[in-house]
Amino acid sequence: MDCIDSLKARFHDLTEDEILQIMEEVKIERNAIEDKMLDLDSLGDELLSRIDKKTKYEDIQQRCRVRAETLGFQARVKALDFITSNFKGKEWEGLEALLGGVNKVGNGNRFSVDALQKSKMGFYLGGFTQDLKALGNEHFKLLKSGKFDREVAKALWLFDNPNHPDFKALPQQAKDIAQVVRKWQGKARSDANLAGAWIGERSDYITRQTHDASRIKAAGYREWAADVDAKLDWQRTAPNVRDRDAFLRAVFDNITEDKPIPTEFRPAGEGVDFNPKLAEQMSESRVLVFKDSDAWMDYNSLYGYDDTLMKTIGNQLGLRARQTALMEKLGPDASRNFNELYNTLQTAYQRAGNMAASKKLEAKKDWLFNLLHEVDGTVDIPRNPTLASIARGVRLLNNWTMLGGSVISSFVDIGTMGSEFSYQGKSFLGTMARGITEILHGRGSAEQQRIASQLGVFFDCMLGEIANRYSSGDGGRGLGSLINQKFFQLNGLSWWTDSWRRTVGLMMSHDLAQEKGIHWNNLSPERQRVLKQYGIEQPEWELIRQGKMSAADGRDYLTPEAAST
C-alpha cells in the first residue's frame, strides 16, 4: 500500500483502480527487463524510469478525459440551444440543420457539420497545393507523378534530424516538399488538438499508414505476416510481446474483420487512450512502426490504399479536416453527443405529452442517423472488404452509363448561381452576366487561385490528383477511377465545375470586401440574412470588417485569414 499512497500523492487525478493497473503493467515491464538485461544491478533504476513514464502517461490520459468531457458538454449545450431557438416545435429539422444544413432563415442554419467539413478540407488541401506550386511547377509534378515518393518519404522521416548524412544527401526538392507537408500536417494536428484530440509528434513520421483490407485479405495472413515482419522495428512496435505471430494475427484480424486488438498488444506511451471515441481514434498510437522510410514505402506499395504518396498525404489531410470539423460542432465523442441530443428531445416531448412530435421525431430517426453516418464517415468503412470492392465496381459501371449527360446537366449551374446571389440581394440577371464573363478566365490566375484556396475553394481536378472524394470509397487504385477522372477532364466537366466554383467563391468574397466599410445596421436585409445563417451577426461583422483584406489582380477579397487579423 505504500507504493499506492506514494503514487496517489504524486498524481492526484489518478484513481486507485488506475494505480493498481499501472502496478500490474509494471510487473510485466519487470519481467521483460529481466529477460533482456544481464546487469541486474541497474534493474531498479530502469524500472523506476518506466514507472515514472507510465504514471505520467496515465495522468495525461486522465486530463484528456476531463477535457474531452468538458468540450463535449459545451458542444451539446450549444447544439441544443441552436435547435430549440431556431426550430421550436420542429426540433427534428434542427438536428438536420446541425448535420447537413437547411436553406431556411435562422442563425447558423447553413453553418452545419457538412459545411464546416468542406470548408476545412478545401482550406487544408487548397493551401497544401498552393504552397507546393509556390515552390515551382517542377516540385508539384514530381510529387504528383509518384516517381519521387521515396525521396520525399525519406525527407519526412528524417525531417527533424537535418544533420543526418542520408538527409543531407537528398535532393533539395524533396526537402522543400517535406517542409510543406509538415506545415500542413502541423496545422491539421493543432486544429484537431484544440477540438479535443491529443495527437503528439514523432520525428520518424511520414503520414498515417493506410491498409487496404481487400488486398490484405486476398494475400492471406501468412503472406501478409511474412511481408510485414521483416519491415517492422519490433523494439518500437511491440517491445514486450513474446509471441509475435499472435500479435500479427491480432493486427490482421483488426484490419480485415474490424476485431479489436487485445489490450496486451496495444501500444502505450505515445498516443492517448480515453473514452470519447472520435478523439481517441485520432489520438491513438501507431500499432505498426517500420524500420525506416523504405520499409514504410514497401508496405504502402503492397498493402496501402493509395498509389502515390501525394494521395496518401492528401487523403489524410482531408480525413483530419472531416474529423476535426465534426468535433468542433459535436464534441470529441460526436456520435454519443448526437445520440444524447436525440434522446433529450424525445424525453422532452414525452414529458410534455406531445406525442405527435415524439412520433414525428421517431419517424425521422433512421434518416437523421444515416445523415450522421454520412458526416462521421461510418458509411465509408466497409464491413466486408470483398463485397465492398464488388459494389465499388458496380457503382463505377453505373457512373459510366451516365457520363455522357453529365456536362449537359451541369448547365443549370448558371441559374443556381443567379438564384443564390439573388437571395443575397444581388440582381439575378446581372449576376449571371457577371459570372459568365468571369468564367471565361477559367481557373483564374495564380493570385486568384491563392485567394480561392483561402476561401476553402478546391478544384475537382486537384482533388482527383491528391485525394479521393469522401463519398462511398469509390476512389482508390485501379483503372476504373482513372477512367472516371480522365473522362471528366476530357469532356470539360472538370474545367466547368472548377471555373464556376472559383468564380462564385471570388465573387462572394469580393462583394463582402466591398461592404467592409458598412456598419451592420446599414447592410441590406438580404446580406444580414445570409450572414446570420452562418452564425455571423453584428458583433462578428464589426470584428471581421476590421481585418486586412487580401488582394489579387487589383481587387480586394474578404477571406477567413483576413477576418482573423
Mean pLDDT of 153-158: 96
- Per residue in 17-33, pLDDT (tens digit) is 655 655 555 555 455 54
Q: How far apart are the first and last CA of the chain?
A: 55
Q: Angle of helix 355-375 relative to helix 91-100, nearest 10 degrees?
A: 10
Q: What is the DSSP string of 494-526?
A: HHHHHHHHHHHHHHHHHHHHHTTTS-GGGS-HH
Cα gap 545→352, rounded to integer Å:
45
Mean pLDDT of 444-457: 60
Distances (CA, A) of 57 to 45, 94, 267: 18, 40, 12
pLDDT for position 37: 45
Model confidence pTM above 0.85: no
Kindly tell me the sign of the dihedral angle through the C-alpha atoms of 76, 78, 81, 87.
Answer: negative
Coil/strand/helix, residue 330 = helix
The residue ranking higher by pLDDT, 10 or 355, is 355
The 8-class DSSP code of residue 260 comes to P
Cα gap 428→431, rounded to integer Å:
5
Q: Is 406 exposed, middle or buried (0-12, 13-18, 19+ CB in 10 A)?
A: middle
Question: Which residues make Cβ contacts (< 8 Å) with residue 382, sequence separation at least 6?
Answer: 213, 214, 388, 389, 473
- Residue 52 sits at the vertex; the CA angle it makes with 51 and 58, to the nearest 5 degrees, is 85
Phi, psi angle pair for 550, to nearest 5°: -95, 150
Query: How crowded is the C-beta side of 549, counted as CA atoms within 13 Å?
Result: 18
- Tally Cβ neighbours within 10 Å of residue 491: 14
List the grid coordinates of 342. Answer: 436525440
List the grid coordinates of 223. Answer: 503472406
Confidence label for 472 from pLDDT (cuts 50, 70 and 90): very low
- Per residue in 63-112, pLDDT (tens digit) is 777 788 888 899 999 999 999 999 999 999 999 999 999 888 888 888 99
Residue 304 pLDDT greater than 60, yes or no: yes
